[in-house]
Amino acid sequence: MLLYGRIDTMTETGLAEAVYLEGDRIADVGSREDLSARYPRIKKQVIEQITPGLHEAHAHPQLWGQQLDSLDFEGLTEPQAVAQKVAQKARTLPPGSWIRGGGYLFRAYPSSEMLDEVAPHHPVFLQSRDRHSSWANRKAMELSSIGAHTPDPPGGVLVRNGAGEPTGYLLEHAQELIYAMVPKPGLVELERGLQDLSRRGYTAVHHMGWCHFSLAEQLAHSGQLPVRLWWALDRDHWRETRPGWRGDSLEVAAVKFFADGALGSRTAWMIEPYPDGSQGIVLDPLELIESEGRAVLQAGFGMVVHAIGTRAVQGLLEVFHQLQPLSRRIFRIEHAQHVRDQELPRFAGLNLAISMQPMHLLGDADLVRLHLKGYEKEAFRLRDLWNTGLPLAFGSDAPVMKPLFEQNLQAAIRHPFNPRQNLTPEEVLWAHTRGAALAAGWPQHGLIRPEAPADLTLWENQHPVGRVFKGEIELY
């Protein structure tokens, strides 16, 4: 197949006019004239713009698949408005069935009462947009045996009233007390999430945990993966799995750690305290990341670490410096959302990719002003981190945000509170293609040149309108 268009090769060649595909590989790239002369009898297709295939560099596809099927509270900041949607849903579901939803962001932690009123006979479990806290009703707490006697689990908090009774709001690991009772998403949800991503022009997805690897293996074995899947295992069960490829679509590449929580739930671990005096929550202690990380690297995996707050980023960089001699793969820091000036030089010398989601800026700009007044310039330092020379890789963290390339573009080229940190559209595209491929440790991907895999995204008016995946063209 011969494709004509404005072709962003992401190589020294720069722009090209034609790309010739043979099977699942790119075979030739050049001018329209040259390629039409070389391949006169080949089927031709004209596309406005062609780039290497888009990567979604940080997603939870199974949860995204589940979210496509549950209540969406995006943009809601008032518990009342969320409860109204729950009331509507309760009318359509038989008593006893779970009501799930997510996407709200509240300024205060509500109690279960509002949900008890609208859905007394359904267990309700709703998650904040960043997934670091949840709101549940009494029914859900009863099913999970949560009461005044229940202690806070390690790394979690049950918000309590004056009498010490849990109110129905749960932070971090406390969410798992209820989540354990919710019917689990399975293969159907993983497939639905990946299918949805494939229809948005993505050819590769970096999976960031919270889903059992056997499901991905199952899809890979039956040849049903609609994208190339880069897989990070959860820290608590990686020992039973061997790193490496399963076919040509699935690589189990890394193990994921969490240094801290997130800003929206005030659980990001900060050096300077929040206005209420708290400094966030440590999830995996740095000593554990270092010791367990050592074992992970020795087993041949890469390391992926979630670090959002300034303290988490600071500590993690030191851990990476310690572990670097052991590592055969590029390290990844996920989010790197708040970085002090002092830490910027510590990025140098690391074999590290910086995985970010600029689109969080669209929702988090107000949060930053609210929780981190005076430290705004430490947030989302896209340009400063780009200038470290390390690859940036962009994603959405779906289901935290919708996997929309346009939103990363919009947020990164027009930083809402620090224009000095703006990137160019070309740099954003690079971070979604070549940068992400480097972050995956896939050096042959993210370029349009002979021998590279024929994974392309097809564009019109700067919107993905189709893709080529393993040499097969799909137009939406």
List the one residue out of 112, 241, 243, 94 whose CA is nearest residue 166.
112
Min dist. Cβ of residue 62 to Zn ion (A)? 12
Residue 269 is classified by DSSP as -
Name the residue nearer to Zn ion (CB basis): 59 or 252. 59
Name the residue nearer to Zn ion (CB basis): 18 or 211. 211
Min dist. Cβ of residue 440 to Zn ion (A)? 16
Name the residue nearer to Zn ion (CB basis): 360 or 467. 360
Min dist. Cβ of residue 356 to Zn ion (A)? 12
Name the residue nearer to Zn ion (CB basis): 208 or 316. 208
Min dist. Cβ of residue 395 to Zn ion (A)? 8
Min dist. Cβ of residue 60 to Zn ion (A)? 6
List the one residue out of 286, 377, 308, 371 whose CA is nearest residue 340.
377
Name the residue nearer to Zn ion (CB basis): 399 or 435. 399
Min dist. Cβ of residue 94 to Zn ion (A)? 33
Residues between 347 and 386 that touch Zn ion (CB under 5 A): none
In the block, residue with structure tokens 């993690």: 316
Stretches 199-207, 293-301, 370-378, 396-404: which one binds Zn ion (CB under 5 A)?
396-404
Stretches 132-140, 150-158, 389-397, 422-430: which one binds Zn ion (CB under 5 A)?
389-397
Q: What is the DSSP annotation of 64-123?
A: HHHHTTSEE-TT---HHHHHHHHHHHHHHS-TT--EEEEEE--SS---THHHHHH-TTS-
Instruction: Show the site string, 164-203: x = touches Zn ion by CB under 5 A, - = not.
Output: ----------------------------------------
Q: The tokens of 111 are what?
A: 């109690």
Name the residue nearer to Zn ion (CB basis): 140 or 308. 308
Give the torsion through C-alpha atoms of 211, 216, 218, 221, to 10 deg: -170
Question: Chain-centre distance of CA 152, in angstroms?
Answer: 28
Min dist. Cβ of residue 166 to Zn ion (A)? 26
Which residues in 81-116 are b (16+ Cβ under 10 Å) and which e? ebbebbeebbeeeeeeebbbbbbbbbeebbbbebbb
The strand pairing partners of 29, in sequence order, are 19
Stretches 140-148, 179-187, 208-216, 308-316: which one binds Zn ion (CB under 5 A)?
208-216
Count of residues engaged in binding Zn ion, rule: CB under 5 A: 2
The strand pairing partners of 398, in sequence order, are 59
Which amino acid, residue 148?
A: A
Stretches 225-233, 395-403, 405-413, 457-465: which one binds Zn ion (CB under 5 A)?
395-403
In the block, residue with structure tokens 């390339």: 405
Q: Which residue is nearest to Zn ion (CB)?
A: 397
Residue 427 in contact with Zn ion, rule: CB under 5 A? no
Min dist. Cβ of residue 380 to Zn ion (A)? 16
Cα–Cα distance, 387 to 296 (Å, whole number) = 29
Name the residue nearer to Zn ion (CB basis): 284 or 397. 397
What's the chain's length in residues? Answer: 476
Min dist. Cβ of residue 397 to Zn ion (A)? 4
SS3 content of the chain, % helix, strand, coil (to 5): 30, 30, 40
List the one residue out of 312, 430, 410, 303 whose CA is nearest residue 358.
410
Stretches 67-75, 271-279, 291-299, 390-398: which one binds Zn ion (CB under 5 A)?
390-398
Name the residue nearer to Zn ion (CB basis): 126 or 208. 208
Name the residue nearer to Zn ion (CB basis): 76 or 356. 356
Residues between 397 and 416 that touch Zn ion (CB under 5 A): 397
3-class DSSP state of 205: strand
Is 177 within 8 Å of 171 (Cβ atoms)? Answer: no
Residues between 38 and 97 that touch Zn ion (CB under 5 A): none
Min dist. Cβ of residue 256 to Zn ion (A)? 9
Stretches 79-87, 113-121, 204-212, 310-318: which one binds Zn ion (CB under 5 A)?
204-212
Stretches 12-20, 107-115, 391-399, 420-428: which one binds Zn ion (CB under 5 A)?
391-399
Q: What is the DSSP annotation of 426-463?
A: HHHHHHHTHHHHHHHT-TTSS--STTSB--EEEEETTE
| Angle, in degrees to the nearest 10, between helices 213-221 and 187-198 | 70
Name the residue nearer to Zn ion (CB basis): 261 or 446. 261
Name the residue nearer to Zn ion (CB basis): 141 or 392. 392
User: Which of 208, 271, 412, 440 touches Zn ion (CB under 5 A)?
Assistant: 208
Name the residue nearer to Zn ion (CB basis): 115 or 263. 263
Phi, psi of 271 (to 5 degrees): -75, -50
Report the interface residues with Zn ion, using CB under 5 A: 208, 397
